[in-house]
């Protein structure tokens, strides 16, 4: 447990940020307060805004998922409805992404017009009592709420609420009507699922987090109360049992009794995020402690090196402790995003650096891995070991979720592309926070910060964050304007940065330099324009070993550098695809830094007897395994050069 400085300093429900608690250690900053200007994430935000959003809208139209709303409005459903039961939610996630993007850009007429056009089509499908779903409730369709296990009605509404919240925060007072659509739907479910209503929950958690934020935006406590009812009901076997067990939708154990996240990894993290919102708002320390414990155990025993979560293809679920197979890693993109949602809420509440460290790990190694460089193809699953190249995905075909070595433009279950889009569009909100005493920098990107700090006696704080991270380990915060009172500026020192130094260079010429441990490095002083706080640490490559209980990767190491996990890809090996299965690394050999973030390592291709039976008293083939140097690249950049094989964990050379 961290030592948290609990304050009452928080934002308002209309801050331009995805999560705005009314209490907690830290106050989030909105997209109007932090803007990413250049570098790793700015590049991705630009691609997201210029290519991904249009790509997502194109596919939503092409697959008929927006048109489902038109059919609902025309009264012609169910005939012609396309997509899975949760197709509505992808439209809402797209709207949420566009809302953040409009906020990020500070307005964009063309985007605004596209946004309104989709909202109008959604609005037309809402029924007079507030019900909104294209899959249920009409003649020829299942009755409303008749399939809570798999119907995803409340799940879809959760995403509607998040979209409406994003819109309300980025374009307060806009007359498009999305917030009204959301509150009418929320009012309906308060009646239907309230204390005297249906005593059950949705098979896919999400409405909880949507209701909590909708409550924060509107001030309507009934929404939070309903979210709380949903959280407390789940875990008592209120849903039907299924082959994989009720753990799949976290209905196996009350949330206060569980020791780790389990079951479907997206469901588990969305639920935990929603429960954190409720615990924070209610000051429910028992629930918060349970959630912190679940986070700890999940990170310590059920998370991949990349920060990815979910070991099973079968049920997209967490495995047991230390069950983290590399070559069947599911590590769904959405699970990574959901894990950020959970972690960010705990960070705002606790100011514990471990949450920020994990968010960084997931951002660089899951969120950045999913989309292609062009922003128009995506990984749904993010394996850590690709054994066969697979076939090239045609650019214009819907793909199965997790079969190829290449990214696909769209999926039958296409939750990941719009989820990536909304995350990247709102990413600036995860860079920095404030509290009564100052400003905290959690993620490193060149950015501008313009906010108010120091409580009622404080004032405007403007600064420029400058860094080439993750290519270098130097992060400078240049103060542009600060209130006269003393402030504390805190910069995160990542968990692996064991040689970090902090330099404070004032405009007046004074210079102070000292070593700083991992955690948050604090500088308290009365800042003036021109003062610079510079954090620096080396980003030398690291050789990482697994806990011996992670059986699937025994005898291997991974290479990390800064926040980035690296991988060996067959296109960089002289022996190509097949040789990847026999490659070994000398874990003690030097690793050299090459250009553009690549590293040069010493590998060997082990000669192996190709036996008729793969179990014997030995497999060493005659012949030498001559060392050679190979270039390796960050994991997030793999699979951009045609079908290939790849591995993150590299067997070590036997000495």
CB closer to its own copies out of 219 and 619: 619
23 touching its own copies, by CB under 8 A: no
d(CA 268, CA 342): 10
Between 524 and 619, whose beta carbon lies closer to its own copies? 619
- List, in sequence order, every residue forming a beta bridge with 559; answer none if it has no partner: 543
Among candidate residues 114, 91, 100, the one with its CA nearest the CA of residue 35: 100
Which of 49/203 has CB closer to its own copies?
A: 203
Q: Which is nearer to its own copies, 354 or 437 (CB)?
A: 354
Residue 654 beta carbon to its own copies: minimum distance, rounded to whole angstroms: 9
CA–CA separation, 545 vs 559, rounded Å? 9
Decide: is 651 part of the binding site for its own copies (CB under 8 A).
yes
Burial group, residue 265, by CB count within 10 angstroms (0-12, 13-18, 19+): buried
Tokens linked to 131:
């019900």
Question: Which element (helix H / strand E) includes 492?
Answer: strand 487-493
* Closest distance to its own copies from the beta carbon of 598 (Å): 22
181 touches 167 (CB < 8 A):
no
Q: Assess 492 for contact with its own copies (CB under 8 A).
A: no
- Helices 285-301 and 353-362: angle between axes, nearest 10 degrees: 50
98 contacts its own copies (rule: CB under 8 A): no
Identify which of residues 161 and 411 has a Cβ nearer to its own copies in the complex.
411
Sole binder of its own copies in the list 611, 629, 641, 642 (CB under 8 A): 611
Q: Is the peptide bond before 78 cis (omega within 30 degrees of 0)?
A: yes
Is 351 within 8 Å of 5 (Cβ atoms)?
Answer: yes
SS3 at position 464: strand
Tokens of 74: 């025309």
Taking CB under 8 A as the criterion, which residues in 379-438 touch its own copies? 385, 387-388, 400-401, 403, 412
Please give the size of the binding site for its own copies, defined by CB under 8 A: 62
The answer to whether 321 contacts its own copies (rule: CB under 8 A) is yes
610, 622, 624, 626: which one binds its own copies (CB under 8 A): 610
> Among 395, 397, 590, 617, which residue interacts with its own copies (rule: CB under 8 A)?
617
The contact pattern for its own copies, residues 342-381, with x = CB under 8 A and - = no contact, is: ------------x---------------------------
> Which residue, 159 or 328, is less far from its own copies as judged by CB?
328
Q: Which of 233, 328, 422, 561 binds its own copies (CB under 8 A)?
A: 328
Task: Return the sign of the alpha-carbon dihedral for residues 333, 407, 557, 543.
Answer: negative
Choosing from 589, 608, 628, 640, the residue that interacts with its own copies (CB under 8 A) is 608
Pick the binder of its own copies from 104, 233, 262, 301 (CB under 8 A).
Answer: 301
Q: What is the DSSP-derived secondary structure letter of residue 408?
A: B
Tell me the angle at which helices 207-218 and 221-233 cross, rounded to the nearest 10 degrees: 160
Task: Rounding to the nearest 10 degrees, give the CA dihedral for residues 307, 313, 319, 322.
Answer: -60
Which of 99, 305, 532, 591 contacts its own copies by CB under 8 A?
305
Q: Does 615 bind its own copies (CB under 8 A)?
A: yes
Residues 128-147 that bind its own copies (CB under 8 A): none
- Per DSSP, the three-state class of 380 is coil
Q: Does 558 bind its own copies (CB under 8 A)?
A: yes
- Asked if 589 touches its own copies (CB under 8 A), the answer is no
Helix (H) or strand (E) holding 340: helix 333-350
CA distance 221 to 478: 41
Comparing CB distances to its own copies, the nearer of 323 and 640 is 323
Contact predicate 469/508, CB 8 Å? no
Among 111, 174, 253, 581, binds its own copies (CB under 8 A): 581
To its own copies, the closest distance from the beta carbon of 552 in angstroms equals 5
606 belongs to the binding site for its own copies (CB under 8 A): yes
Neighbours of 415 (CB within 10 A): 21
The secondary structure of residue 395, as a DSSP letter, is: T
Check residue 1 for interaction with its own copies (CB under 8 A): no
Site string for its own copies, 213-252 (x = CB under 8 A): ------------------------------xxx-------
Task: Please say which residue, 223 or 364, places its beta carbon nearer to its own copies.
Answer: 364
d(CA 181, CA 122): 9
Sequence-distant (≥ 6) Cβ neighbours of residue 199 within 8 angstroms: 233, 238
Question: Distance between CA 270 and CA 334 in Å, rounded?
Answer: 10
Within residues 258-297, the interface with its own copies by CB under 8 A covers: 296
Q: Phi/psi zone of residue 530: left (φ > 0), alpha (ψ -120 to 50 degrees), beta? A: left
The one among 38, 112, 323, 586 contacting its own copies by CB under 8 A: 323
Question: Shortest Cβ distance from residue 252 to its own copies (Å)?
Answer: 11
> How many residues are given for the chain?
655
The distance from CA 216 to its chain's CA centroid, rounded to whole angstroms, is 22
Binders of its own copies in range 520-549 (CB under 8 A): 542-549
Phi, psi of 108 (to 5 degrees): -165, 110
Please report whether residue 314 would count as binding its own copies according to CB under 8 A.
Answer: yes
Positions touching its own copies (CB under 8 A) are: 243-245, 296, 299-301, 303, 305, 312-314, 319-328, 354, 385, 387-388, 400-401, 403, 412, 495, 542-556, 558, 581-582, 606, 608, 610-619, 651
């Amino acid at each position: 447990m961290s030592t948290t400085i609990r304050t009452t300093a928080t934002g308002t429900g209309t801050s331009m940020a995805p999560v705005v608690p009314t209490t907690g250690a830290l106050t989030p900053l909105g997209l109007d307060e932090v803007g990413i200007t250049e570098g790793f994430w700015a590049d991705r935000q630009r691609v997201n805004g210029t290519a991904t959003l249009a790509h997502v809208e194109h596919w939503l139209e092409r697959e008929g998922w927006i048109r489902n709303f038109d059919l609902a409005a025309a009264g012609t459903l169910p005939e012609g409805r396309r997509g899975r039961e949760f197709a509505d939610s992808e439209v809402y996630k797209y709207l949420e992404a566009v809302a953040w993007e409009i906020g990020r850009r500070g307005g964009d007429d063309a985007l605004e017009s596209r946004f309104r056009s989709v909202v109008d089509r959604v609005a037309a499908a809402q029924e007079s009592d507030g019900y909104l779903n294209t899959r249920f409730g009409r003649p020829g369709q299942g009755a409303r709420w008749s399939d809570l296990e798999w119907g995803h009605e409340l799940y879809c509404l959760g995403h509607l609420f998040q979209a409406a919240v994003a819109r309300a925060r980025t374009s307060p007072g806009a007359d498009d009507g999305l917030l009204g659509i959301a509150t009418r739907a929320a009012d309906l479910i308060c009646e239907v699922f309230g204390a005297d209503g249906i005593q059950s929950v949705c098979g896919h958690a999400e409405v909880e987090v949507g209701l909590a934020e909708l409550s924060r935006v509107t001030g309507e406590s009934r929404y939070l109360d309903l979210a709380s009812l949903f959280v407390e009901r789940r875990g008592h076997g209120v849903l039907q049992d299924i082959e994989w067990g009720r753990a799949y939708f976290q209905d196996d154990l009350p949330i206060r009794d569980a020791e780790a996240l389990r079951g479907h990894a997206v469901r588990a993290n969305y639920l935990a995020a929603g429960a954190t919102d409720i615990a924070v708002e209610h000051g429910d320390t028992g629930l918060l402690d349970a959630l912190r414990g679940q986070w700890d155990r999940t990170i310590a025993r059920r998370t991949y090196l990349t920060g990815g979560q979910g070991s099973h293809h079968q049920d997209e679920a967490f495995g047991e402790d230390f069950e983290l197979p590399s070559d069947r890693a599911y590590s769904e993109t959405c699970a990574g995003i959901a894990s950020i949602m959970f972690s960010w809420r705990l960070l705002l509440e606790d100011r514990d650096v471990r949450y920020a460290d994990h968010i960084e790990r997931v951002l660089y190694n899951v969120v950045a891995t999913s989309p292609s460089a062009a922003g128009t193809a995506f990984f749904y699953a993010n394996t850590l070991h690709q054994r066969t190249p697979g076939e090239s995905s045609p650019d214009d075909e819907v793909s199965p979720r997790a079969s190829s070595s290449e990214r696909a433009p769209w999926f039958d279950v296409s939750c990941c592309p719009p989820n990536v889009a909304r995350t990247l569009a709102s990413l600036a909100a995860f860079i920095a926070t404030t509290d009564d005493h100052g400003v905290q920098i959690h993620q490193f990107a060149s950015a501008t910060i313009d906010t108010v700090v120091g409580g009622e006696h404080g004032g405007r704080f403007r600064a420029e964050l400058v860094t080439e991270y993750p290519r270098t380990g130097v992060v400078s915060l240049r103060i542009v304007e600060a209130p006269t009172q003393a402030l504390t500026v805190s910069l995160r020192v990542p968990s692996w940065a064991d040689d970090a130094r902090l330099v404070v260079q004032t405009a007046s010429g004074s210079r102070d330099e000292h070593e700083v441990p991992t955690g948050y490095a604090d500088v308290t002083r009365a800042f003036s324009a021109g003062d610079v706080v510079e954090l620096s640490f080396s980003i030398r490559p690291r050789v990482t070993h697994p806990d011996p209980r992670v059986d699937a990767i025994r005898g291997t190491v991974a290479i990390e550098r800064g926040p980035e996990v690296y991988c060996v890809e067959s296109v960089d090996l002289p022996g190509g695809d097949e040789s990847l299965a026999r490659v070994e690394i000398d874990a003690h050999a030097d690793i050299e830094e090459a250009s553009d973030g690549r590293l040069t390592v010493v590998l060997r291709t082990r000669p192996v007897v190709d036996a008729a039976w793969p179990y014997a008293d030995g497999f060493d083939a005659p012949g030498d395994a001559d060392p050679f140097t190979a270039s390796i690249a960050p994991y997030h950049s793999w699979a951009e050069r045609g079908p290939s094989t790849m591995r993150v964990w590299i067997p070590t050379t036997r000495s």
